[in-house]
Amino acid sequence: MFDILKLSPLFSGLDTLEINLLINKVFHQIRTFSNQEVLAFSGEKVERAMILLEGKLQGEMVDFSGNSLKIEEIEPPQMVAAAFLYGPQSFFPVNLSALSDGKVLIFLKNDFTQLLSNDLRLLNNYLNIVSGKAQFLSRKITFLSFKTIREKIAYYLLNHLKPGTMLVFLNQSQKSLAEMFGVARPSIARTISELEDEKIIRWERNQVVILDLQLLRSILGRQL
């Protein structure tokens, strides 16, 4: 476990022994979860710090019509809901559900606070995590503020372009993309068709080939 934690942003810069010592100073537990399980509901109070050790989680907003907007996927050894543990409104902003079986390391809030105050490096790491989280959310807003599906796809592709190539690898289905974009799945497929007709991209199963980078960029108004 400590080897995994060593790789986590929170314990970055500490060695296995130090991590071991720090963690054993406070109460902690390990909880397993299974695929599809909901670990927390939107609106629930955040009372525990959780670090994902194994498996995959996702945070998704479920609006009132039952539609969902996937905010992020969480993989080990990331913290869960880091930015919602402190601050004026410490409630889960999303439903937290499991995309596979897995394990999380859990601290109660008070124990976690003590952990942070025991080591300035941890505190500093945590500050960076929370800042990074805010920055992630900010980029999410940038993304959501694109009006058309065309723009969203262009932005997504340009941001995932494998450097030095004209390829974007897809590790999620169109359905999953549609959830992230907050749009209907056939609408994405239609826009992809249009982009293919215009010879701007070629969309294959697991990757996208950019045929005309200039045109793709021009969708976003010649920036980026």
Residues found near DNA in the complex (CB under 7 A): 147-150, 173-176, 182-187, 189-193, 203, 205
Task: Tell me how far, at minimum, the Cβ of 59 lies from a second copy, in Å.
Answer: 10
Beta strands in the chain (DSSP E): 29-33, 38-40, 48-54, 57-62, 68-74, 79-80, 95-98, 102-108, 167-169, 201-203, 207-210
Site string for a second copy, 90-129 (x = CB under 8 A): x--x-----------------------x--x--x--xxxx
Pick the closer one to DNA by CB: 17 or 141.
141
Chosen residue from 25, 31, 45, 139 binding a second copy by CB under 8 A: 139
For residue 168, what are the CA distances in angstroms to 2, 157, 193?
34, 7, 17
Helix (H, G, I), strand (E, B) or coil at 220: coil
Chosen residue from 3, 24, 145, 197 binding a second copy by CB under 8 A: 145
CA dihedral angle for residue 70, residue 10, residue 56, residue 73, rounded to 10 degrees: 20
Task: Tell me how far, at minimum, the Cβ of 208 lies from DNA, in Å.
Answer: 10
Task: Pick what 190 binds: a second copy, DNA, none; C-beta below 5 to 8 Å, kind-dependent.
Answer: DNA
Q: Rounded distance, CA 115 to CA 120, Å?
A: 10
Question: Is the bond preceding 163 in cis, omega lying within 30 degrees of 0?
Answer: no
Does 172 sit near a second copy (CB under 8 A)?
no
- Give the distance between the most distant pair of CA atoms in the chain: 62
Task: Pick what 12 binds: DNA, a second copy, none; C-beta below 5 to 8 Å, kind-dependent.
Answer: none
Tokens linked to 109: 């809030």
Chain positions contacting a second copy, by CB under 8 A = 61, 63-65, 67, 69, 71, 83-90, 93, 117, 120, 123, 126-135, 137-142, 144-147, 151, 182, 220-223
